[in-house]
Amino acid sequence: MSDQASLRRRLKELLIERLKFEDLTPDDIGDDEPLFQGGLGLDSIDALEIVVMLESEFGVKVKNEAAARGAFRSIASLAELVEERTGVEQIKTS
Amino acid sequence: MTYSPSSWLDFLPHQIPFRAASAARRVDEKTMEGLYICSADDGLFEGVVPISMIFEAMAQLGGGVAFAESKSQGWLSAIDDASVDAVLEAGDIVHLRVELEASFGRIFRFRGFGFRQELEFARAKFYLAEPLGGSL
């Protein structure tokens, strides 16, 4: 599995754990599936939990809603944000 | 600026007759403590105080942290991981402590604890939301 695929899978696992999606597995969430507005149907409380998760797991801080708007679109865009801020190699070894 | 416990009550989003806390004290920028006095007017069910009043009081104290500066009002949006180990009766005095854990945009996540006779008997994670424009 590539670094990018590993990161995306890890993000899916964290979302399921943090948001308590007990009936979902990582394979149920598409990389480009919308997280909000349809798709998984997340809400603003879930957005806060994603912000907390990104900071605690990856050290990535999201300053405001404007910064989150694009990055929180899907698992793929979340992974891009983490890659951009940390680099996949750092995540792989942490 | 310092505030007396009575003046901190003025920062809560609810006031009499809807205010649940009888005292409040801002410990630091993320923490508020308060008292809830169980009374015979609490809508007792077979002599038991509804525990929902304790969580409501926690949320109102959280509002005193989240909305103290903006003076806005907000909603109790969600409660999670709530548990209670005791039954409350009229005359019990509950010490409440709420701590702001995280916030993003207009959503605030708190952890709240209830103590009776210095023993923790209730705890919950809860979320407050500030409406667009700052008031309901």
Model pLDDT for residues B58-97, shown as the tens digit of each residue: 999 999 899 877 777 788 999 999 999 999 988 999 999 9
Burial class (CB in 10 A: 0-12, 13-18, 19+), B95: middle
Give me the interface pTM, i.e. the ipTM: 0.78
Catalogue all structural domains in chain A, each as residue range(s) with its CATH number. 3-93 (1.10.1200.10)
Rounded Cα–Cα distance for residues B80 and A61 (Å): 24
- Cα B59 vs. chain centroid, distance in angstroms? 4
Rounded Cα–Cα distance for residues A13 and A21 (Å): 10
Contacts of A71 in chain B (CB under 8 A): none
Rounded Cα–Cα distance for residues A26 and A40 (Å): 12
Give the model confidence (pLDDT) of B1-57 as tens digits: 344 555 777 777 777 777 778 888 889 999 999 999 988 877 777 777 888 889 999
Nearest Cα of chain A lies from the Cα of B104 at a distance, in angstroms, of 5
Write down the pLDDT at residue A38.
Answer: 80
Give the model confidence (pLDDT) of A59-94 as tens digits: 999 988 888 888 999 999 999 999 988 875 455 544
A64 in contact with B, Cβ within 8 Å: yes
Nearest Cα of chain A lies from the Cα of B75 at a distance, in angstroms, of 12
> Quick one: average pLDDT of B120-130?
95
| Region B5-134: CATH code | 3.10.129.10
A4 Cβ partners below 8 Å, 6+ apart? A79, A83, A88
Nearest Cα of chain A lies from the Cα of B34 at a distance, in angstroms, of 26
Interface test with B, best of A48, A61, A72 (most B CBs within 10 A): A48
A48 in contact with B, Cβ within 8 Å: yes
